Amino acid sequence: MAVFDLLVNGDRKTVDVPPEMPLLWVLRDHLGLTGTKYSCGIAFCGTCTVHLDGEPIRSCATAVQAVGDRAITTIEGLSPDGEHPLQKAWLAEQTPQCGYCHPGFLMQAAALLEENPHPTDEEMDEFFAGNLCRCGTYQRIRKAIRRVETEDDR
């Protein structure tokens, strides 16, 4: 066990856990932040995506000891009021079905637009290569991201 001082959604949090415990389980079981989801546990589906200093990472395959002093952002911290342009666009397109993979998709999408505000379809394909949705909402996700872009241009 070891003590880690983490910066999560702007708040300092201290946890005492095994150093190799994936960040996913630290968030879910020790910090009560269950918005970040478990689905495959092998970094193959993107459902557990969070940001470390703005970079999207798979929290199921990132040991808490590897986080260091990087700022962790989860779906709960994507925007203070749940009104991030992507969240609004997601609703406007009625995007989720079961919604379980969407925290991961939203975090991945937020990182994409931060890095590349006008991605081509091929760039989107590549950026979402590691995010899976069993309900099949991919087409709406693409439309929702395009909606944010269009609104930005207004």
Partner 1 sequence: MTIHELTRRDFLKSTGVAGTGLVVAISFPWVGACGQPAVITQEGGFKPNAWIWIDPDGLVHVVYDEHEMGQGSSTGFMKIVCEELGADWAKMVWEPVPTDPSTWERTISTGGSTTIRLGWDPIRRASAQAREMLRTAAANRWGVGVDECSAGDHAITNQASGQRLGYGELAVDAGALPVPEDPPLKEAEDYTLLWRSTDRLDLPDKVRGKTQFGLDLRLPDMLFAAVARPPQFQGSVRSFNDTAARAVPGVVDVIEVEAGVAVYATDTWSALQGREALEVEFDPGPNTWQSSESLLARCKELAAGPCEVQVEEGDLDGGFSGASQTLEAHFETGFLDHAPMEPLNATAHVRGSEVEVWVPTQSATSAQRAAAQVAGVEPSNVILHSMLTGGGFGRRLTPDDAAIATQVAKEKNVPVQTIFTREDGIRHGAYRPAAYQVLKAGLDAEGWPVAFHHRVTGPSPRGLLTGGAESPNYSLPNFRLDHGLEDWGIPLGAFRSVANPHTCFAVESFVDECAHAAGKDPVDYRRTLMEDVNPRLLNCLLMAAEKAEWGRPMGERQGQGIASWFCFAGYLAAVAEVTVAEDGTVIVDRIVTVSDHGIITNPEAVRSQIEGGTIIALTQALKSEVLMQDGAASVSNFHDYPLLTFAETPKIEVHFVESMERPGGVGEPPVPPPPPAVANAIFAATGVRVRKMPFPKAELRVG
Interacting residues with partner 1 (CB under 8 A): 1, 17-18, 21-22, 25, 28-30, 32, 34-42, 44-45, 47, 74-76, 78, 82, 87, 90-91, 94-103, 106, 124-126, 128-129, 131-142
Tell me how far, at minimum, the Cβ of 12 lies from partner 1, in Å.
21
Using CA atoms, how far apart are residues 4 and 68, in angstroms rounded to an integer? 8
Name which of 6 and 101 has its Cβ closer to partner 1: 101
Using CA atoms, how far apart are residues 81 and 60, in angstroms rounded to an integer? 26
Name which of 52 and 73 has its Cβ closer to partner 1: 73
DSSP 80: T
For the chain, give the number of residues.
154
Helix (H, G, I), strand (E, B) or coil at 22: strand
Helix (H, G, I), strand (E, B) or coil at 91: helix
Tell me how far, at minimum, the Cβ of 135 lies from partner 1, in Å.
5
